[in-house]
Amino acid sequence: ASERLYLGMDFGTSGARYALIDRQGTIHAEGKREYPNYMKEDSLDWALSWKTTLFSLLEDVPVHLRPLVASISLDGTSATTLIINSNTGEPLARPYLYNESCPDALPLVKSIAPINHTVCSGSSTLCKLVSWWNNDDSDKKSTMLLHQADWLLWLLHGQLGVSDYNNALKVGYDPEADSYPDWLLSQPYAQLLPIVKAPGTSIGHLKGDIRTQFGFSEDCIVCTGTTDSIAAFLAARATKPGKAVTSLGSTLAIKLLSTTRIEDARYGVYSHRLDDKWLVGGASNTGGAVLKENFSDEQLEKLSEHINPMEASPLDYYPLKSVGERFPVANPKMEPRLHPRPESDVEYLHGILESIARIEAKAYMLLKDLGATQVDEVFTAGGGAKNDKWTKIRERVLGLPVNRATQTEAAYGAALLALKGCQ
């Protein structure tokens, strides 16, 4: 018999991708689609765009590989929320996007949730739900809340009302108790909440009409998904406590696999559950955006060639694009510090890279102080991962092995969840 394959899809902020892998993690096919711009009453019809893109990606999977797909999973952007008709699955309102804020709901949410809970942010899923509940005067009997990933997976398996505990965190789900807390269940809108399973759990078979239309196999299953940033972490296959992924994109974000759960609202640090472990995360405002303001990608490459990474730069900067930092220093008034600027651009760049590495080291130190498992190896994702001189600087400053992550695409992480659902 031919080898079975596992399909993962990622619905990110700017477009969607798919990755098709085998048991060993080898990629057999991958692809990307932009979201089409469908309009509905003067605004973008996101639900239709995502749905169309989902089926476009299925079209893009090579015909001869489709019968080999044993399992499908996908991720969506965190806190992207749909209110749907619980009989038909049709959206009852425009989807609330991940970064949309519903400050009108915040006072009410703060009055019911524990202090500093993740839901106490205007863009949380719970604020979106409460805002809809209080502002929409349609009949609320047959309604249900789904996250973007849940809804797209529903289009594939057809069982309404299933989510995963990564997506459900920002609506208030307690991943440790593995239930919704009482303060949430006692609310009138609790009836809208989906049931919650671990990411990468089989929900059911791929719907018959989709299976026959596209030529997938009869036993192909659909599994619960996760959020896009967790899927990107999963892609790096950092599966042991102490393994971490630093993302050096426009900003610096770190994620560490820990045996203990830590939360600290001051620093915006919180933990997602991953089976019997915790994925601890924090995001700094420093990062590549400052590099981009000063240098083109070509300049970054040329100048980096002349840096000696074994030598510590004496320049002590705090590179920020604008005022304010959250993690690893909580100070909304922190000023960017990029002075004195030396005459040599090589020295200037060395100073910036070294300073960002010190902030990264401080970030891992803070997680340890807050009670997380001590980091022992760092994988790197994002635009900064390709800079080998920076990697060497970071190895020296962190005192740890630093390697580029082999896989960084969230779609690859989603494919690993599809594989998990078959085991």
Residue 384, interface with ligand ADP (CB under 6 A)? yes
Only segment of 169-177, 260-268, 283-291, 356-364 that touches ligand ADP (CB under 6 A): 283-291
Ramachandran quadrant class, 284 (left: phi over 0; alpha: psi -120 to 50; beta: rest): beta
Residue 388 in the binding site for ligand ADP (CB under 6 A): no
Tokens standing for residue 39: 């309009």
Question: What is the nearest approach in angstroms of ligand ADP to the Cβ of residue 240?
Answer: 25
DSSP string, 26-43: -EEEEEEEEPP--EETTE
User: Is position 229 an interface residue for ligand ADP (rule: CB under 6 A)?
Assistant: no
| Window contacting ligand ADP (CB under 6 A); options: 103-111, 155-163, 361-369, 386-394 | 386-394
Closest separation between CB of residue 402 and ligand ADP, Å?
14
Q: Is 297 in the site for ligand ADP (CB under 6 A)?
A: yes
Cα–Cα distances in angstroms (integers) from residue 355 to residues 251, 317, 364, in the given order: 14, 6, 15
Q: Which of residues 81 and 229 has its CB atom nearest to ligand ADP in the complex? A: 229
Rounded to a whole number of angstroms, the minimum distance from the CB of residue 287 to ligand ADP is: 7
Q: Of the two residues 281 and 382, which places its CB atom closer to ligand ADP in the complex?
A: 382
Q: How far is the CB of 254 from ligand ADP (least distance, A)?
A: 14
Q: Token pair for residue 187? A: 């609310």
Does residue 250 belong to the site contacting ligand ADP (CB under 6 A)?
yes
Q: By CB under 6 A, is residue 249 in contact with ligand ADP?
A: yes
Residue 115, H or E segment: none
Q: Give yes or no for residue 292 binding ligand ADP (CB under 6 A).
A: yes
Spatial separation of the C-alpha atoms in residues 203 and 418, rounded to whole Å: 11
The span from the CA of 357 to the CA of 353, in Å, is 6
Among 27, 160, 190, 289, binds ligand ADP (CB under 6 A): 289
Query: If we measure between CA atoms, which residue out of 382, 370, 378 comes closest to residue 327?
Result: 370
Q: How long a stretch of residues is the chain? A: 423
- Among 70, 85, 385, which residue's Cα sits nearest to residue 202? 70
In whole angstroms, the minimum distance from the beta carbon of 359 to ligand ADP comes to 15
Site for ligand ADP in 175-204 (CB under 6 A): none
Task: Mention every residue, 6+ apart, whose C-beta is less than 8 A from residue 208.
Answer: none
Residue 247 C-beta: closest distance to ligand ADP, Å: 7
With binding defined as CB under 6 A, does residue 319 bind ligand ADP? no
SS3 assignment, position 304:
helix
Q: Which is nearer to ligand ADP, 151 or 295 (CB)?
A: 295
Strands (E), 209-361: 221-223, 226-227, 243-248, 252-258, 270-274, 277-284
Q: By CB under 6 A, is residue 321 in contact with ligand ADP?
A: no
Instruction: Give 131 or 286: the residue with its C-beta nearer to ligand ADP.
Output: 286
Query: Peptide bond preceding 340: is omega within 30 degrees of 0, i.e. cis?
Result: yes
Interface stretch with ligand ADP, choices 193-201, 260-268, 376-384, 394-402 (CB under 6 A) = 376-384
265 vs 121: CA distance, rounded Å: 11
Closest approach of ligand ADP to the CB of residue 118, in Å: 22
Give CA–CA dist 342/390, Å, rounded.
Answer: 19
Closest approach of Cβ 415 to ligand ADP, in Å? 20
Say whether residue 386 binds ligand ADP (CB under 6 A): yes
Q: Tell me which DSSP letter residue 70 carries.
A: E
Q: Are strands 243-248 and 377-381 parallel, antiparallel or unpaired?
A: parallel
Assess 12 for contact with ligand ADP (CB under 6 A). no
Cα separation, 252 vs 382, in Å, equals 9
Contact footprint for ligand ADP (CB under 6 A) = 249-250, 288-289, 291-292, 297, 300-301, 304, 382-384, 386-387, 390
